[in-house]
Structure 1
């Protein structure tokens, strides 16, 4: 690839949707749908990443809630604590390689232990297409 190297910070969403552990599953599902995401970072009140929650994580709780006609639980009850993250200065190609090996479609972007955004599989694939358009055959 010739030209400028694409970094995560060049293509990530800086105003990313995220939730707190106290957020209800209902609110989280509605927020994910509104933002067209399959999952979201979970941060504390100081912006520190503490987990990640996906639609798949919330589905069992929603099924149970519908079955028993009760309130769904909180995000903190179903979130994953082990979170794959990326740095804003990583190359987009590195993130693409991670996405080949791991399941997440959304990666939190962390700088100085703080959540500063997210990068999605769609953003990575779009960035790769734009880079490909600028390639010059040798």
Structure 2
């Protein structure tokens, strides 16, 4: 049994890379590469979560942009509007279960509608390993 409850707020990334809907797909992809992420939350000017965009969401638009040598579309043209998100007070085991059932590798962490961070599969796996090391036989 683990010695303490691990919460999302304990392991999430607080310096979150996010994009605005009016950002270009090119800007977004460059940011994802720089931050080593496969997707990013989309937030409005007030920091409220309004969508999510992944590399897969942008791939078709990026291919078209390269093929026709034109400007890439905006993020809002390809972003997902129904976003899976988690609360900072959720238990890490709950998030691990979500990640086993759903495809996202990155979940926005929100308080109400405000984006406060992200949690990735790497965060969860690392936390589970650390928790496993602290296990005490029952």
- Residue by residue, what CA displacement relative to the aligned partner does 1:6-60 show, whole Å, maximum 9, x if unpaired? 0000000011000000111111001001100000000000011100000000000
Secondary structure of the structure 2 residue equivalent to 1:129: helix
After TM superposition, the score normalised by the length of structure 2 is 0.98
Could you tell me which residue of structure 2 aligns to residue 92 of structure 1? 92
SS at match of 1:124: helix
- RMSD over aligned Cα, in angstroms? 0.6
Per-residue CA distance 1:99-130 (angstroms, 9 max, x = gap): 00000000000102100000000000000000
Map of 1:59 onto structure 2: 59
2:20 is the counterpart of 1:24:
no
Q: What corresponds to 1:128 in structure 2? A: 128
Specify the SS of the correspondent of 2:110: strand
Q: Which runs of 5+ in 1 are unaligned?
A: none
- Tell me what 1:13 maps to: 13
How far apart are residue 4 of structure 1 and its match?
A: 1.3
Normalized against structure 1, the TM-score is what? 0.98
**Runs of 4+ deviating beyond 4 Å:** none
Task: Please state how far the C-alpha of 1:98 moved relative to its aligned partner.
Answer: 0.1
For structure 2, the residue ranges without an aligned partner over 5 or more in a row are none
Report how many residues are paired: 138
